[in-house]
Structure 1
Amino acid sequence: MARKIGSRYTANQILGRGSAGTVWLGEGPEGPVAVKLLREDLASDQELVGRFVQERTALLGLDHPNVVSVRDLVVDGNDLALVMDLVRGTDLRTRLERERRLAPEAAVAIVADVADGLAAAHAKGVVHRDVKPENILLDMQGPLGPGGSHRALLTDFGVAKLIDSPKRTRATKIIGTPDYLAPEIVEGLPPRASVDIYALATVLYELLAGFTPFGGGHPGAVLRRHVTETVVPLPGIPEELWQLLVQCLAKAPASRLRASELAARLREQLPLLAGMPPLDVDEPDADTDPDAEKPAAVTAPGEPPAPARIRRGAVPLVPGAKPDSNRDTHTSMRVPGPDELAGGARGTARAPRPAGAPRPGSARHRVAARRRRVTLTVAAVVLAAAAGVGTWLATADDDASAPPRETRHSAPESP
């Protein structure tokens, strides 16, 4: 059933539904368009509507071959909609569900396209915040790229930021898709361009392996793994490509590449990946003990070898401590308070200070530390003196109670 969107557009057919709204095939003055109609509860939020209008200039200014351009933003009664270019194709999630994993050359070419789109957005100060296969469209009408890949375009710019308002989300709630969230978002830090790089590297890992590096299980467990676990190597890909993945999945945002650097480095890898088949790996076991030994896979003579099984590894929250392998604790994941955060995006945490206690590193803290050292020194001297007096008294008592010693005098020998 067709419906009017503002005065210039008509929505004719539903193309898909998402958490933020519904995408329609529409018609506008210049031809077919895609219309993302946001949920009614979002449209009734006056604060969100104001943010929506404020983002208009930034969103309309994004013009790049690898970005689905926003043509218009419509605010009309209960309708709040983004009017976008219509891409004739499918999304990357649909292709993944059909093929499970892609050949490395095609996967890298798609991610390089998206990195180019992100570079253009970041240059204008726009952070996507929800990079995932559902938001990557594949243009089936254009020419094929390396490995038979279709041109990739990133869509849904600005939606995550629009719905992330203080009224709608509490300090303990996180906006985004758990599998693709950067550690600094889990820790409650503001999202910057580096969160898109982390999410895109997660997408590349998923395209190669068939699963995300930290996914699986309760959302709280997924969030905890982003902060505490190391990414597991993928057997069978060139070392240079693996190092790119590791760098872009670093816990510290400053260690990750910029979008333009990632796109260039990925395209340098394409000649090395030509003709390489999809990887043959199994998803990691969901056991609670990452250090437990696994029995080796046994195959009958003549059968193909079993897929390589990869294992997740944990890193401790506190340097030098034993990694936390108890997944039951992951279900209580929350955003830490300011006093609990330490090390920023490095994923470490500290216990909150008692009320009235000085902040570590402050002048009060240094004075208190000096006083403790002086007190300990005086106490040590007193204890040492007391120990010396006690030893002297014990020796004197022993001497007084001992029997008289025999005294011998030697006389001179007679000649």
Structure 2
Amino acid sequence: MARNIGSRYTAHQILGRGSAGTVWAGEGPEGPVAIKLLREDLASDQELVGRFVQERTALLGLDHPRIVGVRDLVVDGNDLALVMDLVRGTDLRTRLDRERRLAPQAAVAIIADVADALAVAHAAGIVHRDVKPENILLDMEGPLGPAGSHPALLTDFGVAKLIDTPRRTRASRIIGTPDYLAPEIVEGLPPRAAVDIYALATVLYELLAGFTPFGGGHPGAVLRRHVTETVVPLPGIPDELWQLINQCLAKAPASRLRASEVGARLRELQPMLAGMPPLDVDEPDAEPQAEPYEDETPAAPGEVRRRGAVPLVPGAAPADSNRDTHTSMRVPAPDELAGGARGTARAPRTPGQRRPGSARHKSDTVRKRRIVLGVAGVVVAAALGVGGWLAASGGDSEVSPRDSQQSVPAEP
């Protein structure tokens, strides 16, 4: 059912829903648009509306081929909406769901495009704060790049900042998506441009490996890993590419590259990645799911929880998609962050290999121990049987004392 958004736009079809609001395909004076209509409770927050209007000039000024342009911001009664370009394609999360991981050259081409978008935003003083596959759109109508990759565009600028107002979130809370949060955010520091670089490197790692370097399990465990653990190298990629990823995942924000440097260096590496197939690694075993994290809603029976944001493109997700744009979490206390193991993160495995400490690895270890103990038990039983036979014979056998005193070596 169509509805008017302000006096200039008409929304025709719901593309998706998220925690921040609903995305519609619509029409405006200049043609098709995507309209992100924020929730009514957000629209009724006068402080947020004020911030929304203040951000208008900056968001409208973000003009770059790799940025989904914001055409207008609408404040009309209970309607609070961002009007954006409508991209004909899909989001990067949907492609990952289909392919699991990408060829290195294609992954690098996509991230280089997003780095260009971030360079423009950072130069304008805007931090995205929510870089992740759901917010990276692939333009299926654009020219193909290296390894057949479609042009990538970054969307949802300003949404994280609009939601993260002083009245809506306290200093003791985190707004973001756990897998992509920079450690300084976890520690409660204000977000700077370097948080986008950390998230971008996390996405690149995910495109190559099929999983994020610090994800898996309870959100609190994910946050702790960002602060206390170091990333594990990915096997099978050039050292130059790994060094770039590693530097962008540095715990110290000042040690990370700038967005413009990331884009330039990735394009320099593209020729050496030509023809390289997707990596053949298995995801580390997931940790057991703990209790819901404070205000997290428990999953319904059979429900599969997915992280991420609503795509702004037709057909990328069902209309009733339940992907969250952001997750609100408590900032872990210093003792909680210090409680984690200070080592490397979950290591990727070659296919079929068990991760040390995983449930399946422990199961294999227990099975091996049972086999060893079973063999030892047979040997001991046999020895006891010999001793019993000797006792029953009254010592008349010709077995020498030395033979009868032999002991069974203990199994390690």
TM-score, structure 1 normalization: 0.70
The answer to whether the aligner puts 1:16 opposite 2:16 as a matched pair is yes
Q: Which residue of 2 aligns with 1:284?
A: 284
Secondary structure of the equivalent of 2:173? coil
Q: Which residue of 1 aligns with 2:29?
A: 29
Q: Which residue of 2 aligns with 1:191?
A: 191
Deviation track 1:292-326 (CA, whole Å, cap 9, x = no partner) reads xxxxxxxxxxxxxxxxxxxxxxxxxxxxxxxxxxx
Q: Which residue of 2 aligns with 1:372?
A: none
Give the drift of 1:335.
Answer: 4.2
Secondary structure of the equivalent of 1:26? strand
In the alignment, the residues of structure 1 paired with residue 336 and residue 19 of structure 2 have an alpha-carbon distance, to the nearest angstrom, of 31
Contact 2:107 2:208 in 1 (8 A): yes
Give the drift of 1:21.
Answer: 1.1
Deviation track 1:233-275 (CA, whole Å, cap 9, x = no partner) reads 1000000000000000000000000000000000011001001
In the alignment, the residues of structure 2 paired with residue 94 and residue 261 of structure 1 have an alpha-carbon distance, to the nearest angstrom, of 28
- Stretches of structure 1 lacking an aligned partner (at least 5 in a row): 289-331, 348-415
Q: Which residue of 2 aligns with 1:182?
A: 182
Give the drift of 1:192.
Answer: 0.3
Q: Which residue of 2 aligns with 1:161?
A: 161
Give the drift of 1:172.
Answer: 2.0
Give the drift of 1:112.
Answer: 0.2
Deviation track 1:204-257 (CA, whole Å, cap 9, x = no partner) reads 000000000000011111000000011011000000000000000000000000
Which amino acid is 1:25 matched to?
A
In the alignment, the residues of structure 2 paired with residue 340 and residue 217 of structure 1 have an alpha-carbon distance, to the nearest angstrom, of 16
Contact 2:132 2:180 in 1 (8 A): yes
Q: Which residue of 1 aligns with 2:232?
A: 232
Percent identity over the alignment is 87
Contact 2:172 2:330 in 1 (8 A): no
Contact 2:14 2:23 in 1 (8 A): yes
Contact 2:188 2:331 in 1 (8 A): no
Q: Which residue of 2 aligns with 1:334?
A: 331
Which amino acid is 1:93 matched to?
R
Secondary structure of the equivalent of 1:106? helix
In the alignment, the residues of structure 2 paired with residue 30 and residue 115 of structure 1 have an alpha-carbon distance, to the nearest angstrom, of 29
Q: Which residue of 1 aligns with 2:50?
A: 50
In the alignment, the residues of structure 2 paired with residue 48 and residue 206 of structure 1 have an alpha-carbon distance, to the nearest angstrom, of 33
TM-score, structure 2 normalization: 0.71
Q: Which has the higher contact order (CA 8 A, sep 6+)?
A: 2
Q: Supply the RMSD in Å over aligned alpha carbons.
A: 2.0
The answer to whether the aligner puts 1:244 opposite 2:241 as a matched pair is no
Q: Which residue of 2 aligns with 1:308?
A: none
Secondary structure of the equivalent of 1:14? strand
1:145-156 residue pairs with structure 2 within 5 A? 145-156=145-156
Give the drift of 1:285.
Answer: 3.0
* Structure number, greater radius of gyration: 1
Give the drift of 1:340.
Answer: 11
Contact 1:223 1:333 in 2 (8 A): no
Which amino acid is 2:275 matched to?
G
The answer to whether the aligner puts 1:261 opposite 2:261 as a matched pair is yes
Q: Which residue of 1 aligns with 2:118?
A: 118
Give the drift of 1:17.
Answer: 1.7
Contact 2:220 2:332 in 1 (8 A): no
Quickly say closer, same or farther: Cα 1:218–1:108, change in 2 above 3 A: same
Which amino acid is 1:202 matched to?
T
In the alignment, the residues of structure 2 paired with residue 170 and residue 55 of structure 1 have an alpha-carbon distance, to the nearest angstrom, of 21
Give the drift of 1:333.
Answer: 6.7
